[in-house]
Chains A and B, each alone.
Chain A
Amino acid sequence: MNLFKISWKNIWHKPMNTALSVVLLAFGVGIISLLLLMEEQLTSKFNRNIKDIDMVLGAKGSPMQLILANVYHVDAPTGNIKVKDAQRIINSPLIKEAIPLAYGDNYQNWRIVGTNEKYPNHYDCKIAQGQMFAAPFEATIGSNVARETGLKIGDTFISTHGFDQKAEGDEDGHHHDSPFTVKGIFEESNCAIDNLILTSVESVWMVHEHAHDEEGHHDGEGHEEGDEHHDEVAHQTETEDHDHEGHDHADEGQQDPDHEAAEHSDHDHSAEGHDHDQEGQTAEHSEDHHDASDGHNHEEEHANETDESEREMTAYLLVKRNASALMMLPNSIRDTNMQLALPAIEVNRLSQNFGLGMGTMKAIAIFIMLLSFISIFISLFNSLKERKYELALMRTMGGTRATLSRLILQEGVILVILGFALGLVLSRVGLLVLSNMLKENFHYSISNIGLTLNELVLFGITLLVGIVASLLPAVKALRMDISKTLGNG
């Protein structure tokens, strides 16, 4: 027998009243704590991915899209820029480091990104097994990719055209035939690399070269006159199919000079007397490139040849050398099709918009919590009325005024603690569900479900308000006139 037992029994003597108070509080606490958790985790994830990247250089379009696509790898790229044009920015003395990113295709919806070792190094992302990609069509894959696809070192895979459209490649029969070989797997770094397949920029270029060649051959069948026309048709349909994908085919199709230039390179290619094109027609293209080292060398040369002029890149992640870079560089690209976006500003903008929704949700949750406190107050007050005889009786049996008010206060506190605990459970369940949903859509997982500092503060506030709500009933118990209550009126 102790005071806690009496409080506890009293609480469950009216289970419906108690359930109402507890459930209301649990929902309020659950929603707030879920929002706090999400905010915290997303912010930390966002910041980890920005990590010292001051600017992103990419094609004109929405700056936020540029950041989302190239820093977080969750949106489609804005398009491509010419390496030639980018040189003056990335070679600027104001820039300390420029990490190239060339968007390739995907494998089972995991993005293939052409880059160099600067990219993983920037995020301190170490290799867990194997090694970094070196030769074309070698890939080093992120930890989530490895886990979800089951790819192991030495495995080969064939990329599919486009991003984030899982079935498309398969349905269209539109995948590229050059297989990538997994050379290594990265450690889990909790940044975007976990979800990426990294390869050399050259590999990405070559895949697209092939795609282009193939299409050209299928459409043109060697008829030079019809080539251009057919190609245009092919590109148009392409553009419609992959709306806003920013794929370089689309760009080529839209920009005539590029297109011609690409064709020129094709011509050059055949003029050199290579049998490459003919081999391409036999559809054993890939094997040829992969196995024959001659073919490789040729392709690399080929890549280098055109590097200066028409090679394209999706974006560069830039680290500034000094602060004036942020002021000076945007001016120097004003007349190009490029833009410089600042991740810090875009993320700020995003979280402000996002924050607005969060704020509304929080207001609703606080309102629900307020209801629960009113419910606790009313249920204690009512129970006080019903229990006035037994409370007075407890006084005649030696219970002091302090004992009785403690009893009432304790009941309020127990209700608050029950509601809070249930709320925490709810928020964790909600977080797991959300995390799974996010993972399916964005490959973004939310992991940590421990008690956060914010929640401790929330608990303190909840407890305090709970005590205030039980204070009036407790004072009423304190001031009760036992003679009047127990007299035979």
Chain B
Amino acid sequence: MISLGAKVLNNAFANLLQLRIAQRSKFVAKSKGSMLSSSKVKFSYPKGPEFVFPDISCGQSEHMLIIGESGKGKTTLLHLLAGMLKPLSGSIVIDGKDISEMSDSNLDRYRGEKVGMVFQTAHFVQSLSVEDNLLLPQFLAGVPVDKEKVRSLVDRLGLSSKLNVKPGKLSVGEQQRLAIVRAVMNNPSVIFADEPTSALDDKNANEVISLLEEQAAVSKASLIIVTHDKRLKDRFPKQVVL
């Protein structure tokens, strides 16, 4: 009797939790095979508080916003999902493989293959030209380099004339758009973007987000954006609030 009661209570609690998540996110993931899912992920920095993150599931071609105040661990969650940090416990599955159990070098390679990343500030290898920087993901992932792809993508941005220029000579907006191109060079399964628009003005922010959506669609990748940028909140219905 007691165990039955506990089970009922448990179920009720689980239902309540799901309801709350459903209420919070206006759109519930319906995709069957999710590209990215996490469960019971916990993390703590040395001497820092313990973060317990909600489970996340994002399907193919699905877009998702992770929002929350500063200090809530948005970037930490993103880095955990992208395999840049190891969780204390819990599992993170990208395209069917649990990355929390991979060795460092395997994880680096898997990330190069499956994940594209865009950061708040675009970083490039300053000594290499724009073209070489865009070829870098393919080289580092051990995939044959495809100069044609670089050319056609850069052409779409209207930056063909900048191919042989050092990235440091470009504007911030141009750099961020090129960073997005770089992120999709390997047709990733998941694209993570960490505050991709917060350093940009409205016009550039718009262009960058459109490009992100467009390129994610081309690669049929899940798109996870961590942001506190209000301009994005109306655009992405699926949101996780920390």
* A10 surroundings in chain B (CB, below 8 A): 125, 127
Binding site secondary structure of chain A: helix
- Which residues of B84-99 are within 8 A (CB) of A? 84-85
Option from B113, B126, B140 in Cβ contact (under 8 Å) with A13: B126
B62 at the interface (CB under 8 A from A): no
Given contacts A13-B126, A390-B126, A398-B141, contact A486 B109 (CB under 8 A): no
Q: In the complex the two chains form, is B84's CB within 8 Å of A1's CB?
A: no
Q: In the complex the two chains form, is A400's CB within 8 Å of B75's CB?
A: no
User: Please, how many residues of chain B have a CB less than 8 angstroms from a CB on the other chain?
Assistant: 37
Bound-state Cα–Cα, A227 to B128, Å: 93
B53 at the interface (CB under 8 A from A): no
- Which residues of A455-485 are within 8 A (CB) of B? 482-483
A271 at the interface (CB under 8 A from B): no
Q: In the complex the two chains form, is B85's CB within 8 Å of A399's CB?
A: no
| One of B29-37, B130-138, B152-160, B232-240 at the interface | B130-138
Q: In the complex the two chains form, is A400's CB within 8 Å of B139's CB?
A: no
A354 at the interface (CB under 8 A from B): no
* B85 surroundings in chain A (CB, below 8 A): 483
Q: In the complex the two chains form, is A1's CB within 8 Å of B132's CB?
A: yes
B120 at the interface (CB under 8 A from A): yes
B111 at the interface (CB under 8 A from A): yes
- Cβ distance A170 to chain B, nearest Cβ, rounded Å: 66
By CB atoms of chain A within 10 A, which of B76, B127, B136, B141 has the most?
B127
B163 at the interface (CB under 8 A from A): no
Bound-state Cα–Cα, A5 to B139, Å: 12
- Measured as residues with beta carbon below 8 angstroms from the partner, the interface class of chain A is 20 to 34
* A487 surroundings in chain B (CB, below 8 A): 75-76, 79
A367 at the interface (CB under 8 A from B): no
Q: In the complex the two chains form, is B127's CB within 8 Å of A397's CB?
A: no
A393 at the interface (CB under 8 A from B): yes
Bound-state Cα–Cα, A401 to B194, Å: 23
Q: Mark A6-18, 1 if CB is under 8 A from B, else 0.
A: 1001101100000
B229 at the interface (CB under 8 A from A): no
Option from A387, A397, A482 in Cβ contact (under 8 Å) with B136: A397
* B84 surroundings in chain A (CB, below 8 A): 396, 482-483, 486
Given contacts A396-B84, A398-B111, A399-B112, contact A389 B137 (CB under 8 A): no
Given contacts A6-B125, A486-B84, contact A397 B112 (CB under 8 A): yes
B23 at the interface (CB under 8 A from A): no
Q: In the complex the two chains form, is B141's CB within 8 Å of A387's CB?
A: no
B82 at the interface (CB under 8 A from A): yes
Given contacts A1-B135, A486-B119, contact A398 B125 (CB under 8 A): no
A293 at the interface (CB under 8 A from B): no
Given contacts A396-B111, A483-B84, contact A403 B127 (CB under 8 A): no
A366 at the interface (CB under 8 A from B): no
- Which residues of B18-76 are within 8 A (CB) of A? 75-76
A74 at the interface (CB under 8 A from B): no
Option from A387, A390, A398, A401 in Cβ contact (under 8 Å) with B137: A398
Q: In the complex the two chains form, is A398's CB within 8 Å of B108's CB?
A: yes
- Cβ distance A366 to chain B, nearest Cβ, rounded Å: 32
Given contacts A1-B135, A399-B112, contact A394 B127 (CB under 8 A): no
- Cβ distance A168 to chain B, nearest Cβ, rounded Å: 65
Q: In the complex the two chains form, is B108's CB within 8 Å of A401's CB?
A: yes
* B115 surroundings in chain A (CB, below 8 A): 396
Bound-state Cα–Cα, A398 to B84, Å: 11
Bound-state Cα–Cα, A2 to B136, Å: 9
Q: In the complex the two chains form, is A394's CB within 8 Å of B75's CB?
A: no
Q: Mark A395-435, 1 if CB is under 8 A from B, else 0.
A: 11111111100000000000000000000000000000000
A149 at the interface (CB under 8 A from B): no
A121 at the interface (CB under 8 A from B): no
A-B contact count (CB 8 A): 89
Option from A6, A389, A488 in Cβ contact (under 8 Å) with B194: A488
Bound-state Cα–Cα, A387 to B128, Å: 12
* A387 surroundings in chain B (CB, below 8 A): 125-126
B117 at the interface (CB under 8 A from A): yes
Bound-state Cα–Cα, A398 to B109, Å: 5
Bound-state Cα–Cα, A90 to B112, Å: 88
Given contacts A398-B112, A398-B113, A400-B105, contact A390 B124 (CB under 8 A): yes
* A12 surroundings in chain B (CB, below 8 A): 127
Q: In the complex the two chains form, is A396's CB within 8 Å of B82's CB?
A: yes
Option from A392, A397, A399, A488 in Cβ contact (under 8 Å) with B75: A488
- Cβ distance B216 to chain A, nearest Cβ, rounded Å: 17
Q: Mark B184-211, 1 if CB is under 8 A from A, else 0.
A: 0010000000110000000000000000
- Cβ distance A181 to chain B, nearest Cβ, rounded Å: 72
Q: In the complex the two chains form, is A396's CB within 8 Å of B195's CB?
A: no
- Which residues of A368-398 are within 8 A (CB) of B? 387, 389-390, 392-398
B145 at the interface (CB under 8 A from A): yes
By CB atoms of chain B within 10 A, which of A10, A13, A487, A488 has the most?
A488
Shortest Cβ distance from A383 into B: residue: B127
- Cβ distance B26 to chain A, nearest Cβ, rounded Å: 27
Bound-state Cα–Cα, A13 to B128, Å: 9
* A401 surroundings in chain B (CB, below 8 A): 104-105, 108
By CB atoms of chain B within 10 A, which of A2, A392, A397, A483 has the most?
A397
Option from A394, A403, A482 in Cβ contact (under 8 Å) with B125: A394
* A400 surroundings in chain B (CB, below 8 A): 104-105, 108-109
Bound-state Cα–Cα, A387 to B123, Å: 10
Given contacts A2-B139, A394-B136, contact A402 B105 (CB under 8 A): yes
* A483 surroundings in chain B (CB, below 8 A): 76, 79, 84-85
* B76 surroundings in chain A (CB, below 8 A): 483, 487
Given A9-B125, A396-B82, A486-B123: 17 more A-B contacts, CB < 8 Å: A1-B138, A6-B128, A9-B128, A10-B125, A12-B127, A389-B123, A390-B124, A394-B140, A396-B84, A396-B111, A396-B112, A396-B117, A397-B112, A398-B112, A398-B186, A486-B84, A486-B119
What are 12 A-B contacts with C-beta separation under 8 Å?
A: A9-B127, A387-B126, A390-B124, A390-B126, A394-B125, A396-B111, A398-B111, A398-B141, A401-B104, A486-B119, A486-B194, A487-B75
Q: Which 3 A-B pairs have the closest CB atoms?
A: A398-B112, A13-B127, A398-B141
